[in-house]
Amino acid sequence: MAARRVAILLAIVLGVTACGTEADTQPRPSPITVGEKSFLDEDDVGVIAAASKNRDLPVDEIIAELEANEFCLPADVEDSGDIGTVTAMHFVVEGKLREPCAGTLDDRLIDAWDKLVAIARHEDVADISLLAGYEACEGCATLAFVTSLDEAGTFFLMAIDVTAAQADPDELLLTLVHELSHVITQNPRTELNIEVGPDQCDTFYNGSGCFTRSSYAWRWIEEFWSPDDLARVANDPDLAEGVEDRCTNNAPYTGYYGATNPEEDFAEAFSAYVFSIELPSVMDAKLAFFDRYPEFVKMRKQASKLGLTGLSHSFEGCG
Ligand SMILES: [Zn+2]
């Protein structure tokens, strides 16, 4: 009985740690929003959008422009939830960290980034434009989160709790890949159409945009989420109640957090897949989904090559 209670508590902690705290405060399916959580003023959007379109500009010019517009502000990260204190921030260009644009060099953050880059595809990491490290406030349990920096959803910030990262390297790896999957599945060029609102969306509107028909997320939803469950996620402001109903009787989720919504379901299963974590057979179809995509197989092979299998984890399953 005691063990069971621990399992549930872990589920709750994982739910918070795996993503931004925004999921806790807003009754929406996606932990990532663009408009409401944008770090930019309306006036800035054109500037950063222009920089995005001009990525073939000399790197220094892009960075100078971004810095001039004060996109590297610790207060923006600290104000985005119960996070803590930022230790360092870096602009990331083509997957490479620049010198800190705020704070001072933090080896814990560099180490976490190196771990992600060692596993991930270059093009996915290249969609991250800003990296932040923070020391969590007391009682705060957000291990990492990603959010979009701009209205167009083309620049992502990844933020990592460097203290927790050091304390639990296995959980860090799982969380980094979980968060990376949010970047992958919300790519505005191919995955998520942010110009389509909820009323016009004929796939699934995640709170920021409408998934394209060919997106990973929509294929996942079509295969694994019933129209009823999907409608409930979209309409039910009390996500926790829906989670309880879905995550019962050995239901095919990694646990409560995975049952929150299709994106967390995808992200949790994806991190388990990449690190070859053994899950109950009820998860076989979901893990096999990723095998269809050479890009995901490659990541899994890379993790395996680096010896990153058999990680300790807190996927407690359902029921
Ligand atoms: Zn997540």
44: left (phi over 0), alpha (psi -120 to 50) or beta: alpha
CA of 11 to the centre of ligand 1 (A): 13
Helices (H), 2-119: 2-17, 22-25, 42-53, 59-68, 74-78, 107-119
Which comes out higher in pLDDT, residue 23 or 176?
A: 176
Instruction: Tell whether 153 and 19 lie within a shared domain.
Output: yes
Based on the fold, state whether residues 265 and 227 are members of the same structural domain.
yes
Specify whether 11 is located in the same domain as 134.
yes
Q: Does 177 map to a domain? A: no
- Residue 159 structural domain: 2-169
Ligand 1 center from residue 264 Cα (angstroms) = 5
Kindly give the distance from the C-alpha atom of residue 17 to the centroid of ligand 1, in angstroms, as a whole number: 9
Look at residues 105, 37, 44, 116 and name the one whose alpha carbon lies nearest to residue 77: 37
- Is there a single domain that holds both residue 136 and residue 226? no
- Give the distance (Å) from ligand 1 centre to CA of residue 47: 29
Domain boundary, last residue among 169, 200, 216: 169
C-alpha 65 to ligand 1 mean position (Å):
30
Amino acid 48: pLDDT: 45
Give the pLDDT confidence score for residue 3 in this predicted structure.
29
Residue among 178, 236, 184, 225 nearest 203 (CA): 225
DSSP 129: E
Decide if pLDDT at 59 tops 90: no
Taking 90 as the threshold, does the pLDDT of residue 119 lie above it?
yes
Residues 165, 196, single domain; the answer is: no
Residues with Cβ < 8 Å from 290, sequence gap 6 or more? 269, 270, 273, 296, 297, 300
Shared domain for 111 and 214, answered yes or no, is: no
Question: How far does residue 178's CA lie from ligand 1's centre (Å)?
Answer: 6
Q: Is residue 180 in a domain?
A: no
Q: 49: buried, middle or exposed (CB in 10 Å: 19+, 13-18, 0-12)?
A: middle
Tell me, in angstroms, the distance from the centre of ligand 1 to residue 263's CA: 7
In a domain, 246, yes or no: yes
Lowest mean pLDDT among 15-19, 161-165, 286-290: 15-19
How far, in Å, is the centroid of ligand 1 from the Cα of 247? 17
For 146-160, the pLDDT digits (tens) are 988 777 777 789 999
User: Separation of 14 CA from ligand 1 center, angstroms?
Assistant: 10
DSSP 3-state assignment of 130? Answer: strand
Q: Are residues 224 and 150 in the same domain?
A: no
Q: What confidence category does residue 239 fall into, taking pLDDT thresholds of 50, 70 and 90? A: low
**Domain assignment of residue 244, yes or no:** yes
- Look at residues 174, 114, 177, 182 and name the one whose alpha carbon lies nearest to residue 153: 182
In a domain, 205, yes or no: yes
Verify that 197 and 164 share a domain, yes or no: no
Residue 263 has pLDDT above 90, yes or no: yes
Contacts of 219 (CB under 8 A, 6+ apart): 289
Q: Which residues are CB-neighbours of 95 under 8 A, at least 6 positions away?
A: 117, 122, 125, 126, 128
The pLDDT of residue 242: 80
Res. 194: pLDDT tops 50: yes
What's the confidence (pLDDT) of residue 183? 93
Q: Are residues 165 and 197 in the same domain?
A: no
For residue 99, report the distance from its CA to the centre of ligand 1, in Å. Answer: 28
Greater model confidence, 304 or 58: 304
> Sorting pLDDT into bands at 50, 70 and 90, what band is 35?
very low
Averaged over 159-180, what is the pLDDT?
95
Ligand 1 centroid distance, CA of 243 (Å): 15
Nearest residue to 261 via CA among 21, 15, 4, 11: 15
Mean pLDDT of 277-302: 97
Q: Out of 169, 200, 230, pick the residue that ends a domain.
A: 169
Residues present in the chain in total: 319
Report yes or no on 175 lying in a domain: no
The total number of structural domains in the chain stands at 2
Which residue, among 224, 204, 208, 115, has the nearest Cα to 156 in the 3D structure? 208
Q: Any bridge partners for residue 308, and if so which?
A: none
* CA 16 to centroid of ligand 1, rounded, Å: 9
Whether the model pTM is above 0.85: no
On the CB side of 301, CA atoms within 13 Å amount to: 8
Residues 92 and 149 in one domain: yes
Cα of 23 from ligand 1 centre, angstroms: 9
Q: Are residues 218 and 98 located together in one domain of the fold?
A: no
Look at residue 239 and tell me if it is in a domain: yes
Dist. CA 12 → ligand 1 center (Å): 13
Stretch among 13-22, 23-32, 78-87, 170-179 having the lowest mean pLDDT: 23-32
Q: Is 153 a member of any domain? A: yes
The alpha carbon of 208 and the centre of ligand 1 are apart by a number of angstroms equal to 14
The pLDDT score that the predictor gives to residue 155 is: 79
Position 226 scores a pLDDT of 93
What's the gap between Cα 171 and its chain centre? Answer: 14
pLDDT confidence of residue 189: 82
Which of 169, 200, 225 finishes a domain?
A: 169
- Check residue 236 and give its pLDDT: 64
Q: Which residues pair with 157 in a beta bridge?
A: 130, 147
Both 125 and 208 in one domain: the answer is no
Q: What is the pLDDT of residue 165?
A: 94
